[in-house]
Amino acid sequence: MEDEYFEQEAVDVEVSRPKKKDWLLPISILVAGVMIAGSLIYAVGSKSGGQNQGQTVVLGNNSAPAVSGQLPLVGNRDAILGDEKAPVTLIEYGDYQCPFCGRFFHQVESSLREEYIKTGKVRMVYRNFQILGAESIASGAAAECAKDQSKFWAYHDELYTAETKDNQENNGNLNRDLFLMLAQNVGLDMTAFTSCLDSNKYIEQVKKETADGQIMGLTGTPTTYINGEQVVGAQPYSVFKTVIDIALQKK
């Protein structure tokens, strides 16, 4: 009788052991794994561009339509800095207001010019990817007007030097007065430049180049292509040096 009582009121004491919610660990690992793998696959896949992988299309001549994932080549509208027959081509997609493009200009480009461009190893091309607003697009158009007078690179340098004094986006400093002053600084024909600027001759072209960049899958500025190899961001000079040296070895 007594035993029966204790059986009925017995307390089953049990150390806490995994019984329920055992799926939490595998699911958490799975979720993290899927997110990381998905992001990696997408990051790689979006750059390779599916059926257009590795396809090279000449841009910069304002005629070829952009294709997702394509690799850019130098076109007849591009202003080339350096030896036209240099074995390595570096194409920068930049925005004149982007502080990281400014950083690239000051910290990387100056060393590139000294070590690789002046020595005939690399030729450089700048493309418009003016994504930060109207001042960026107007700056791109002004630089294209300077290109008409074969002074693109001098004007490009003046623009970045002026913008990086404050590094503020869309604060009104990249305006007509500044464009004219910079044009004077680099010795442009002011009548021709003013006419080009005021007629908005290159606004649509700059917008098209920017749209082409988006179609190609660019995600930000600066983005550079070194013989077709994409480098995203204002990476340290050593990264560009390594990629260029590898490209030179392949030649």
Partner 1 sequence: MNIPIAQPYMVPFTALQEVFSRASYILLASGVSFAFFAFAVWLPNVRLIVDTVGKGGVAVSAKLQLLINLLQGIGTNFTLLSATYTIIIALLFGINIAVTVYFIKKKRTNLAGGGVFAGIGGMGSGILGIGCAACGSFILSSILSVVGAAGVIALLPFKGREFAILSIGLLIVSITLMTRKISEPVVCKPQFSKS
Interaction site with partner 1 (CB under 8 A): 8, 10-22, 24-25, 28, 31-32, 35-36, 39-40, 42-44, 46-48, 98, 100, 103, 107, 219-222, 229-236, 238-239, 242-243, 245-246, 249-250
Rounded least distance, CB 46 to partner 1, Å: 6
Rounded least distance, CB 99 to partner 1, Å: 8
Nearer to partner 1, 42 or 190 (CB): 42
Contact at 8 Å (CB) between 137 and 206?
Answer: yes
Instruction: Give the H/E segment covering residue 176.
Output: helix 176-185
CA nearest neighbour of 161 among 187, 141, 143: 143
Nearer to partner 1, 76 or 249 (CB): 249
Nearer to partner 1, 87 or 233 (CB): 233
Provide the token pair at 158. Answer: 């003046």
Nearer to partner 1, 18 or 172 (CB): 18
Instruction: Give the H/E segment covering residue 125.
Output: strand 122-128
Rounded least distance, CB 240 to partner 1, Å: 9
Nearer to partner 1, 139 or 151 (CB): 139
- Burial-class residue 250 by CB neighbours within 10 Å (0-12, 13-18, 19+): exposed
Nearer to partner 1, 107 or 150 (CB): 107
Rounded least distance, CB 208 to partner 1, Å: 19
Rounded least distance, CB 122 to partner 1, Å: 17
Give the list of residues 6+ apart from residue 232 with CB closer than 8 angstroms, or none.
219, 220, 223
Give the burial string for 116-135 (b: 16+ CB within 10 Å, else e): bbeeebbbbbbbbbbbbeeb
Rounded least distance, CB 43 to partner 1, Å: 5
Instruction: Give the H/E segment covering residue 73.
Output: strand 71-73
